[in-house]
Amino acid sequence: MTDLSLAPVVTGPSEISHGAIQLSIDAPQNITALLPHPNCLNAVNTILKSDLGLKFPAPSEVVTNDTLRLIWNGLDHALLLGASAPLAPLAPYALLADQSGALARFTLTGPDLAEVLARLCPLDLRPTAFGPRRSARSLLGHIDALFVTADDGDHIEIFVMRSMAQSALTELTHAMQGVAARRSAAL
C-alpha cells in the first residue's frame, strides 16, 4: 500500500541560527481556509461568535481566543489555526478547506528580524510600523507569503505554500547570513 504521510517541509535542519536571528520551520496542524459566500459574512460572524468566540478578521487583523487564531489572508479570506474546531455550522455559509498539508510556517525570532525581512519583503515589518497581531500578504523574495506578528511582537510567522518552502528557506538563510555578517563586521 502507498504511504501518503507528508514528507518533511524542507530538507535539512528545522531550526537555524545566524547571529542574533533564529529561524524555525514546521508544518502547522489544523489550518482551515474560511471564505464566506457572497452576502453571508453576517451569518459567518454570528456563528463564529456563538460557537468559537471569534469574529471574522478585518483586513490585516488577527483575532484570537484561548486555542484558536483567525488570520486575515486576503479579501474575504481567513485562515483558522489551532485545535480542531466545530466548523459544520459554517458549511452552508462559507467555503471551508483544510490547508494543513498545503502550508509551511517559518518563525523568525531575534532583534534583527525586521532587517532580515527588509532584504526580502517590500513591507515595513518593524514592530513599530506593523504592530502586534497583524497580518499582511506580500512577497518573500519571489515567493507569495503571509506575514503574521505575535502578540508581543518578538517574532514573525511567515506562511508559504509547502511547495515553495525550500526556496523560502534559501531566501531567509541568505538574508540572515547577510545581516549577521554586517553586524559582526561592525563590531
C-alpha cell at 1: 500500500
Q: Are 150 and 94 in contact (CB under 8 A)?
A: no
**The pLDDT of residue 3:** 64
Instruction: Count other Cβ atoms within 10 Å, centred on residue 82.
Output: 18
User: What pLDDT is attached to residue 1?
Assistant: 63
Going along the chain from its start, the domains and CATH numbers come out as 15-27+102-186 (3.30.1360.120), 31-98 (3.30.70)
Q: Is the dihedral of CA 74, 146, 144, 114 positive or negative?
A: positive
pTM, full prediction:
0.91
Please, what's the largest Cα pairwise distance for the chain?
60
Q: Where are the alpha helices (DSSP H) in the chain?
A: 41-47, 113-118, 127-130, 165-186
Q: What tens-digit pLDDT sequence spans the chain (187 residues)?
A: 666 566 667 777 789 999 999 999 988 888 999 999 999 999 999 999 999 999 999 999 999 998 899 999 999 999 999 877 788 999 999 999 999 889 999 999 999 999 999 999 999 998 888 889 999 999 999 999 999 998 777 899 999 999 999 999 999 999 999 999 988 876 6
Residue 28, Cβ density class (10 Å: 0-12 exposed, 13-18 middle, ≥19 buried): middle
Output b/e per residue, 99-123; b: 16+ Cβ within 10 A: beeebbbbbbebebbbbbbbebbee
Q: Cell numbers at residue 22, please?
A: 533564529
Cα separation of 141 and 147, whole Å? 13
Question: Which strand ranges, in their side-by-side order, compose the sheet holding 103-109?
Answer: 15-18, 21-26, 103-109, 155-161, 143-149, 135-140
End-to-end CA distance of the chain: 58
The whole-angstrom separation of Cα 114 and Cα 111 is 8
